[in-house]
A and B are shown apart, each in its own frame.
Chain A
Amino acid sequence: MPEYETHEYDVLVIGAGGAGLRAAVEASSMGARTAVITKSLLGKAHTVMAEGGMAAAMGNVWPQDNWQVHFRDTMRGGKMLNNWRMAQIHAQEAPDRVYELEEWGALFDRTPDGRILQRDFGGHRYARLAHVGDRTGLEMIRILQQRGVHQGLDVFAECTINRLFKDSQGRIAGAIGYRRETGELLLFKAKAVVLATGGAGRIWEITSNSWEGTADGHALALYAGADMIDMECIQFHPTGMVWPLSVKGLLVTEGVRGDGGTLKNIDGKRFMFDYIPAMFAAETADNEPEADRWYNDKTVRRTPDLLPRDEVARAINSEVKAGRGTEHGGVFLDIASRRSPEYIRSRLPSMYHQFMQLAGVDITKEAFEVGPTMHYIMGGVRVEAEKQGTAVPGLYAAGEVSGGMHGGNRLGGNSLSDLVVFGRRAGMGAAEYALGLTSAPALDQADVDERAALMMKPLEGDGRENPYAIHTALRTLMQNKVGIIRTESELQEALVEIASLKERLTRVKAGGDTKYNPGWHLALDLEHMITVAEVVTRAAIERKESRGGHTRDDYPNPSPEFGKVNIVDRLGPNGVEVRQEPLPQMPPELAELFADGGDDAHG
């Protein structure tokens, strides 16, 4: 019987982004023996890249703001697919979590009277994002990291979890992974697991996500028997860099538009006025003077440049298709002609440097090219709203890997707040569950050994498939056939190609040995990515309408029927199973907030 480096914990948190760190801090403060595992070094998770800010209805800039307005914006932004209870908890608790970060040392930008400043972002009625210049995620991660270190968390950096295990009663019992540095296998016995593994961007070719976004958590949950929800809903952020090729996909924060930037086509036209959807017509300015006044006067209608992301991404896509795009297939984003260089540099310092250093463009002097980039996956592990528990006893999920909170489309700034609101709750739920168990669920040694052997296969087999080549094929396929605009025939073709990639993966061969070998790591991640790509594609076939981050060329409009259901998926004995389930119904006092449709946007 092989020996593994083995550790025992009450709560195992997989992921050290905002969600994972906050969960771990909570679980450990409740007395649960807690470990955090991360594929990168501590402090490098994707959260570090978040720029614009963290949404919380503190009302520091606009006293009219409150949780009800935030809740309403979130639900409408999500095209009403959201789990209403999660959206409610999020809106109610986000301000406390911002103040908690401040208590722990975060230094948010200030209002003139010394309170936390808030900035405008797409889909938020009032300036609502607490921020630190344009590096809010760095602030969040550093503060949580220091908090965790001082609380004595055990951290397993550069370790990757490959599978979860259950006991004979179907409860979470542990997980297996490997140390990236040495390739040694690592076995965890754990009573509860919190998945906080972030997103899935690396399944697409053009993405703002880092190498870590390989959908591991989604896959781990699927293999463990949990449900997925809304997996067809993918956010293509409207403004990624498009040139030079080397930085294609890299994010340009929505803060550029929040702070006054506007989108223009090749003719210099502010085209967003042509793309105001009926749902937002009553609250969106249809002329330039009103749109420009809105930044300082919230009694007029908001600029269409800050419509929710799905709307803006589709508009850019249409402009480019109609031949009004730039040389490199994007549109222009112009803040240079609208704000002073000093203002731009002080509000958007890292954007200024990003363009200066990587593209040789001075954003205080000229407009720059942008286009859509895969940014965020709304879909994820289905959790209950209060403590983030899943269908598998002992399994919890928080942050981007979980689903439901953002429905069909996430508003900017609602992720950072989601991470800490639900990270905390998941940590609490997992700790309560683990501390309540009288004995630790037992691992099945045969499961462990079988998995361990499979993990070594890409190094040992005599296959000939290069993992990098399979990855490139998957990304191209998903970009072209399961991208921003979808259609039945292409989705069906995608399924066939995914099946063939799955087959190629059985013959994958990574050169080299186990020591810090990225080729081997990728070969293992590919299994996760391909599984999740299939789930996304099947869910996209099922939703025969266009809504939020799911646009169908063959069903271009929202359908009232599909507006009443979530698409839920899981792995059954014969592969992916897809079903429709009615949306949870909100209580009358919340439903009332939507009684007047979109028609109450003034004031």
Chain B
Amino acid sequence: MPTANLKVWRGDDSGDYQNYQVEYGHGEVVLDVIHKLQATQAGDLAVRWNCKAGKCGSCSAEINGHPRLQCMTRMEIFEEGEEIVIAPLKTYKLIRDLVTDVSVNFEKAKTIPFVDLEKPAPGDVRRMAQMDIDRVQEFHKCIECFICMDVCHVIRDHPDNMDKFVGPRYFVQLAMVAMHPLDQHPKREMVAYGFGLEYCNITKCCTEVCPEGIHITDNAIIPLKERRVDELYDPLRMIGRALFGKK
């Protein structure tokens, strides 16, 4: 069996990398190796995981500098003997080892509006064409791994922006609500709140890393920005606002 040369972050902010050697077999992923390490050499190594199948988004970490799901990163992509550096996500506050404090995301989630659908026709159920929901179903694929948040320079390099900018994951959720074919809110108005969209300069880094392949920038962020522009410069709406006192 080949031996992996691991360099794993241990401890909190004042911690450091530690070197470990772990044997691995055919088909194993980084998470398997981390688990072996836990069972044999480092019983208290903190790591999150649930599904081990890329479905729950728990096991994100920075592997050789790239944020990825540990459970979907096969050991075979590394050269034998290559040093593999495993570090926690940088955008979030470190708790210990590979585990970060992502609770800020749940505060963000509260700010995203909930859908409010049109009632179905009397005696009928709601009808939607598959074609019309294909686009929105893409946003429902998000597994909340927060890898997109990890690479977004707006918050990665400027932690102060965290409370002004909901970030790519939540633009996806905003798009999911705003583009629901039966949502009856005046959508443009809804997205005109301050979610920090203006901080995004469409670098597309988030899209590149999304393990679900969601086109975060093209399909969620850009359409939201366009709606916002329409909204701000739509003269009729501006009159409406003045008349009805809406913000």
Contacts and interface: CB of A to CB of B under 8 A. Distances in A.
Interface of A: 40-46, 48-49, 99, 102-105, 107, 109-110, 112-116, 132-133, 135, 138-139, 142, 145-147, 149-150, 155, 157, 181, 210-212, 243-247, 250-251, 350, 353-354, 357-359, 466-469, 472, 510-513, 515-520
B47 interface: yes
B11 to A, nearest CB: 10
B220 interface: no
B26 to A, nearest CB: 5
Contacts of A468: 38-40, 43
Max chain A Cβ within 10 angstroms of own Cβ: one of B32, B47, B126, B176: B126
B26 A245 contact: yes
B55 interface: yes
B216 to A, nearest CB: 16
Contacts of A116: 125
Given A250-B52, A350-B55, A357-B74, A43 B144 contact: yes
Nearest to B38: A518
Given A110-B129, A114-B128, A516 B50 contact: no
Contact of A358 (B29, B129, B180): B29
B195 interface: no
Interface residues of B, number: 59
Contacts of B52: 210, 247, 250
A188 to B, nearest CB: 19
Contact of A516 (B96, B129, B140): B96
Contact of B130 (A110, A157, A516): A110
B56 A105 contact: no
Interface in B106-137: 106, 109-110, 112, 114-115, 117, 125-130, 133, 136-137
Given A43-B144, A110-B128, A250-B52, A510 B137 contact: no
Contacts of B114: 104-105, 146-147, 150
Nearest to B40: A468
Contacts of B142: 142
Main secondary structure of the interface of B (DSSP, over half): loop
B150 interface: no
A568 to B, nearest CB: 32
Contacts, number: 166
Contacts of B74: 357-358
B102 A246 contact: no
Please list the 5 inter-chain residue pairs (A to B) with the smallest Cβ-Cβ separation, ordered nearest first: A244-B27, A512-B44, A114-B127, A519-B43, A516-B46
Contacts of A149: 106, 109-110
Interface in B156-189: 173, 176-177, 180
Nearest to A357: B72
Given A49-B56, A107-B133, A181-B99, 20 more contacts: A48-B51, A103-B117, A104-B114, A105-B180, A113-B127, A114-B127, A114-B128, A146-B109, A146-B173, A150-B110, A181-B101, A244-B25, A244-B28, A247-B52, A354-B54, A357-B54, A357-B72, A468-B43, A511-B43, A518-B45
A210 B117 contact: no
B241 interface: no
A486 to B, nearest CB: 28
A212 B43 CA distance: 18
A516 B128 contact: no
B83 to A, nearest CB: 21
B113 to A, nearest CB: 8
Contacts of A114: 127-129
Contacts of B38: 468, 518-519
Contacts of B26: 244-245
Given A116-B125, A468-B39, A41 B54 contact: no
A182 B177 CA distance: 35
5 contacts: A135-B141, A359-B27, A468-B43, A516-B46, A517-B44
A300 B129 CA distance: 30
B127 A115 contact: yes
B222 interface: no
A516 B56 contact: no
Nearest to B127: A114
Contact of A107 (B39, B49, B103, B136): B136
Contacts of B48: 40-41
A350 B29 CA distance: 18
B140 A210 contact: no
Contacts of A112: 130
A145 B56 CA distance: 14
A244 B29 CA distance: 10
A510 B53 CA distance: 28
A307 to B, nearest CB: 26
B104 to A, nearest CB: 12
Contacts of A41: 48, 58, 102
Given A99-B125, A150-B110, A519-B38, A210 B27 contact: no
A243 B27 contact: yes
Interface in B189-241: none
B96 A107 contact: no
A132 B141 CA distance: 10
Interface string B142-153: 111000000000
Contacts of A45: 50
B169 to A, nearest CB: 11
A211 B51 CA distance: 8
B44 A44 contact: no
Contacts of A247: 27, 52-53
